[in-house]
Amino acid sequence: MMLVLSIVLGILPWFGIAWTIVTGTVATQDGLFMSLILLVLSAVFLLNAYWELRDRGALAFLHKKKEAVPAAKASPASAPSPGMSSPGASSPAAKAAPKAASEAKEAALKESEG
């Protein structure tokens, strides 16, 4: 019920803006401020509707998580020799740090969502 009310009250101010434009009062200072106030009211109610839909899981398609692409095994011909390191190579610990930070960020996000 709250979702329907938020959507209706989010759309209703647009009729007031259309009325202001049709009557020609949009060019006055009163008309400009009325349009601004109606836009803010609309934004507040539509934002509430968005949050409600997100909490219900109706907008899950907007929040697709990227799947981790498995690394292809390097062929022996392209692998560097044991004594040589490429300029861009880094230690395994340095590669694990971004992964750990990403996991911590996801855990904090899940915790904040409840």
Mind listing the pLDDT tens digit for each residue in 26-36?
A: 999 999 999 99
Show the domain range for 31. 1-63
- When divided into structural domains, the chain yields a total of 1
Q: In the numeric block, which tokens belong to residue 38?
A: 């109606």
Mean of per-residue pLDDT scores for the chain: 79
Within-domain flag for 50:
yes
Answer whether residue 107 is part of any domain. no
Residue 55 lies inside a defined structural domain of this protein: yes
Q: Within a domain: residue 18?
A: yes
pTM: 0.53
| 61 has a pLDDT exceeding 90 | no
The residue to which tokens 């392209």 are assigned: 78
Q: Please check whether residue 45 lies inside any domain of the structure.
A: yes
What is the pLDDT at residue 59? 80
Q: Is residue 11 in some structural domain?
A: yes
pLDDT score recorded for residue 18: 96
| Whether pLDDT at 72 is above 70 | no
Query: Does any domain span residue 23?
Result: yes
pLDDT on residue 20: 96
